[in-house]
Structure 1
């Protein structure tokens, strides 16, 4: 059986590993919520590929040492559940935003993206970050726009000539 110290060390190393690879973090105070509500949040976290864990603040502070989330060390106080995005930066923020719509008692206490601590009010801005697929689609649209405009510009004189000839033909037939 593991000792208490070994269990704490395992938690710290697990959270540190996740924090080292996570693009964003959201800290949530779940005081006043029922077990069913928290279980629903955990279910949504699994679907959204978000690492969710209730960690003692002292262990969280040790876990984020040496990572880009060292900026949250001073704000990690009180009951806290941390949600680390694993893939896209906005995944945890979107999940928390949607959860808070149904459960307004959940309070956002920490928001950090790429090692930068943001205000809890900035959760909505982080949640609106595009997914990887959306960002690629936007990039392709921007890259394709000049070429499409060039093609339309080159095709315009031919189309105008065809419409003019058609109008002359219709005028002579009528």
Structure 2
């Protein structure tokens, strides 16, 4: 690669990193062609962009980015691929699914909404993360619950009061 090509790749990577808040770094080396194709297909279906990158170029793109990637550049050794997604736990679910059949991909680290996760042992914690939509749905459910209780109490209470007034008026 010439310097000009490298600088173009760094600019492209920097733009990709700036446009997203979810970046997973994984090792997919030693996967055969069929498994790699299946992984790429699964990522595409889940809306995840999977790219194999050079460590030095990714490190320079991380440095040029406005995001703080913490210690992530220190894990850029060996073969590296990045998974860029909108949903914070989607890449972790894909990795976990593929690990049932193979020992790869191995999670090196992840950057999710300004939080940095390093190591393959973080995979279960990343799977447990809830998406923005799930959290909003839970909050709305929690907010609706007291209002529903008040309305149902008023409806049932109205019947009781009417019954008591009717009984008292008959006496």
Q: TM-score, normalised by structure 1?
A: 0.80
Q: CA RMSD in A?
A: 2.4
Give 5+ residue unaligned stretches, structure 2.
Answer: 165-171
In 1, the alpha carbon distance for the partners of 2:163 and 2:81 equals 67
Please state if 1:141 is matched with 2:120.
Answer: no
* Matched-pair contact (CA < 8 Å) for 1:52–1:82: yes
Which residue does the alignment assign to 1:127?
127
Q: TM-score, normalised by structure 2?
A: 0.81
- Displacement of 1:158 in angstroms is 3.7
Please state if 1:89 is matched with 2:99.
Answer: no
* Matched-pair contact (CA < 8 Å) for 1:25–1:84: yes
Please state if 1:107 is matched with 2:106.
Answer: yes
- Displacement of 1:104 in angstroms is 2.3
Give 5+ residue unaligned stretches, structure 1.
Answer: 165-174
Which residue does the alignment assign to 1:168?
none
Which residue does the alignment assign to 1:153?
153
1:34-45 alignment to 2 at 5 Å?
34-45=32-43
User: Does the residue aligned with 1:73 lie in a helix, a strand or coil?
Assistant: helix
In 1, the alpha carbon distance for the partners of 2:28 and 2:143 equals 44
Q: CA 1:45 to 1:69, structure 2 compared with 1: closer, same or farther past 3 Å?
A: farther
**Larger CA deviation: 26-35 vs 52-61:** 26-35
User: Does the residue aligned with 1:117 lie in a helix, a strand or coil?
Assistant: strand
- Displacement of 1:103 in angstroms is 2.3
- Displacement of 1:99 in angstroms is 2.3
